């Protein structure tokens, strides 16, 4: 995917932007949309504070907290994997990426369990405004997690195929996307589950 | 040869023409903001009864200009074909068929508005039904546009030439555009709020980004055609 010569010699990479400009523009664009989501949520929350607070009590904070922990751990695994890859330790890079992938998968399992519990309790998208935003925002974020899992799978393969370090740009692009998924959840979790 | 490149440029510009015809018509028809999905049948019918000729004109013209969108799609596919070279033309084909499908969806939606205005003295419930139908098709059918944008994005990423047809940021831009279109696919679940067909994520953002996307892609295609034309004429002069 990347042209030759992008894997700069060790030491020459001082203050280089990780990944390429394009992925940062994409991340900023995506975060712009989520900022609109957050703003919309706060605006309507302000209009129906009581309803939002009561509905929030029906959420399972443990699921949210566990998912926060999983994504943070996952991000750490991925960051460590890139560190290993830069040291040309491909084997451990692949292991850490697999660990990051498994944490992300754990997030997905918990999320599906949580949605399932809500549906069985008769709570859906149309229950009230709070649950509309809850399902829409965490649902769209969940879609990002699924895409991110595909990305982690892809960069793990890239790492294994390029033990010489030439795949660093691709790995950095993928890791940047995954960190964004993590960051968005770190805002979503307190906003929806905790805000009093 | 001159003729071929001229027509390519014309096709690329037709995207710009589409935006400059479509958006004023939609504004004229009062679709920014559109009749809310929570309005009753009588209120919806009143929109069409009061301004029936505007809907007839707007709808009829919009149906005809959809051809502009199709030839614009063709101009992009020619560029994706450049990227593919001798490889199987999967990106150019998927971009083309999705673009054509997106434009046919457009025709069916506009037909709904024209039919509403054609006999505005019909029973209000029938008008409301057609109005629902038109808006849900117009804004809710997002997958053709999403796959069209993703095809352009993936083709851009696959470009290994030293002088790529589109800059790499265009690949990320197209992925982002596809992501913006996504929430509009959920309008059938909402009658009010930001995800409904008159809301921020159901209407304003996807439609605004749709217009911007066409303008950006038109200029990128025009730039690519200019380079290819210069190369082709230089090669011709070199051969002589």
Per-residue pLDDT of chain B (240 residues; tens, 9 = 90+): 889 999 999 999 999 999 999 999 888 888 888 889 998 999 999 888 888 888 899 889 989 998 999 999 999 999 999 999 999 999 999 999 999 999 998 899 889 999 999 998 889 999 999 999 999 999 999 999 999 999 999 999 999 888 899 999 999 999 999 999 998 999 998 888 889 999 899 899 999 999 999 999 999 999 999 999 999 999 988 887
In chain B, residues with a C-beta closer than 8 Å to the C-beta of A29 are 172-173, 176
In chain B, residues with a C-beta closer than 8 Å to the C-beta of A143 are 182
Structural domain of B117 = 12-226
CB contact under 8 A, B193 and A132: yes
For residue range A54-66, what is the model confidence (pLDDT) as tens digits?
Answer: 999 999 999 999 9
Q: Is residue B177 part of a domain?
A: yes
Cβ proximity of B169 and B141 under 8 Å: no
**Interface probe, candidates B143, B175, B194, B209, chain A, greatest A C-beta count within 10 A:** B194
Higher pLDDT, A73 or A8: A73
Q: Is B179 on the interface with A (CB under 8 A)?
A: yes
Q: Specify the pLDDT at position A14.
A: 59
Cβ proximity of B134 and B112 under 8 Å: yes
Cβ proximity of B80 and B95 under 8 Å: yes
Helix, strand, or coil (residue B164): coil
Which H or E element spans position B85? none
Burial B77-90 (b: 16+ CB within 10 A, else e): bbbbbbbbeeeebe
Task: Give me the number of domains chain B comprises.
Answer: 1
The residues near B197 (Cβ < 8 Å, ≥ 6 apart) are: B34, B37, B135, B136, B139, B140, B187, B190, B203
The secondary structure of chain A in percent helix, strand, coil, rounded to multiples of 5, reads 80, 0, 20
In chain B, residues with a C-beta closer than 8 Å to the C-beta of A134 are none
Which one of A22, A44, A140 has the shortest CB-CB distance to B169? A22
For residue range A141-175, what is the model confidence (pLDDT) as tens digits?
Answer: 999 999 999 999 999 999 999 999 899 999 999 99
Average pLDDT of chain A?
A: 89
Structure tokens at B238: 């070199």
Q: Is B153 on the interface with A (CB under 8 A)?
A: no
Integer Cα distance of B198 and B236 in angstroms: 54
Q: Is residue B92 part of a domain?
A: yes
Residue A3 has pLDDT above 70, yes or no: no
CB contact under 8 A, A140 and B189: no
Instruction: Identify the contact set of chain A against chain B, taking CB-CB distances under 8 A.
Output: 1, 3, 20-23, 25-26, 29-30, 33, 36, 40, 44, 125-126, 129, 132, 136, 140, 143
Which one of A22, A36, A126 has the shortest CB-CB distance to B168? A22
Q: Is residue B60 part of a domain?
A: yes
**Cβ count near A168 (within 10 Å):** 21
Centroid of chain to Cα A194: 19
Residue A13 has pLDDT above 60, yes or no: no
Structure tokens at B109: 């939606």
Cβ proximity of A67 and A107 under 8 Å: yes
The residues near A24 (Cβ < 8 Å, ≥ 6 apart) are: A17, A176
Closest chain B CA to residue A124? B189
In chain A, residues with a C-beta closer than 8 Å to the C-beta of B183 are 136, 140
Dihedral in degrees, nearest 10, Cα atoms B142, B195, A26, A70: -110
Q: Specify the pLDDT at position A15.
A: 67
Q: Specify the pLDDT at position A196.
A: 83
In chain A, residues with a C-beta closer than 8 Å to the C-beta of B185 are none
Closest chain B CA to residue A139? B183
For residue range A27-56, what is the model confidence (pLDDT) as tens digits?
Answer: 999 999 999 999 999 999 999 999 999 999
Q: Specify the pLDDT at position A1.
A: 42
Higher pLDDT, B44 or A126: B44
Which H or E element spans position A80? helix A61-86
Q: Is residue B171 part of a domain?
A: yes
Rounded to two decimals, the ipTM of the complex is 0.73
Give φ, ψ of B88 to 5 degrees.
Answer: -55, 135
Structure tokens at B240: 């002589």
Q: Is residue B172 part of a domain?
A: yes
In chain A the domains, ranked by start, together with CATH numbers, are 21-194 (1.20.120.80)
Integer Cα distance of A29 and A27 in angstroms: 5
Q: Is residue B117 part of a domain?
A: yes
In chain A, residues with a C-beta closer than 8 Å to the C-beta of B175 are 26
Cβ proximity of B37 and B190 under 8 Å: yes
Give the model's confidence band at A18: pLDDT under 50 very low, under 70 low, under 90 confident, else very high. Answer: confident
Q: Specify the pLDDT at position A5.
A: 41
């Amino acid at each position: 995917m990347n042209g030759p010569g992008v894997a700069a010699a060790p030491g020459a990479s001082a203050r280089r932007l990780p990944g390429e400009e394009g992925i940062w523009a994409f991340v900023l664009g995506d975060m712009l949309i989520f900022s609109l989501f957050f703003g919309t949520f706060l605006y309507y929350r302000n209009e129906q504070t009581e309803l939002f607070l009561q509905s929030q009590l029906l959420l399972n904070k443990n699921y949210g907290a566990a998912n926060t922990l999983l994504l943070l751990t996952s991000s750490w695994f991925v960051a460590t994997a890139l560190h290993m890859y830069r040291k040309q330790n491909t084997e451990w890079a692949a292991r850490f990426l697999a660990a990051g992938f498994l944490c992300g998968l754990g997030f997905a399992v918990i999320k599906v369990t949580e949605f399932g519990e809500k549906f069985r309790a008769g709570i859906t998208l149309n229950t009230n405004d709070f649950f509309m935003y809850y399902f829409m925002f965490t649902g769209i974020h969940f879609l990002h997690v699924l895409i991110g899992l595909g990305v982690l799978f892809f960069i793990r393969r890239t790492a294994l195929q390029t033990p010489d370090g030439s795949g660093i740009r691709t790995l950095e692009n993928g890791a940047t996307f995954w960190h964004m998924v993590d960051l968005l959840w770190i805002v979503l979790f307190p906003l929806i589950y905790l805000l009093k | 040869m001159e003729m071929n490149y001229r027509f390519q440029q014309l096709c690329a510009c037709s995207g710009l023409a589409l935006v400059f015809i479509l958006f004023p018509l939609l504004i004229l028809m009062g679709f920014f903001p559109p009749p809310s999905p929570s309005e009753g049948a009588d209120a919806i019918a009143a929109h069409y009864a009061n301004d029936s000729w505007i809907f007839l004109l707007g709808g009829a013209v919009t149906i005809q200009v959809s051809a502009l969108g199709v030839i614009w799609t063709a101009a992009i596919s020619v560029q994706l074909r450049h990227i593919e070279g001798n490889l199987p033309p999967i990106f150019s084909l998927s971009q083309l068929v999705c673009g054509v499908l997106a434009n046919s969806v457009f025709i069916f939606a506009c037909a709904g508005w024209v039919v509403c205005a054609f006999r505005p003295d019909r029973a209000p419930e029938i008008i409301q039904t057609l109005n629902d139908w038109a808006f849900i098709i117009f804004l809710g059918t997002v997958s053709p546009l999403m796959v069209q944008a993703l095809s352009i994005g993936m083709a851009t990423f696959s470009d290994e030439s030293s002088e790529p047809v589109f800059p790499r940021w265009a690949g990320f831009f197209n992925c982002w555009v596809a992501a913006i279109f996504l929430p509009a696919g959920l309008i059938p679940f909402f009658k009010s709020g930001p995800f409904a067909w008159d809301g921020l994520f159901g209407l304003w953002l996807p439609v605004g980004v749709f217009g911007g996307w066409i303008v950006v892609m038109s200029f990128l295609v025009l730039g690519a055609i200019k380079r290819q034309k210069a190369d082709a004429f230089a090669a011709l002069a070199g051969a002589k």
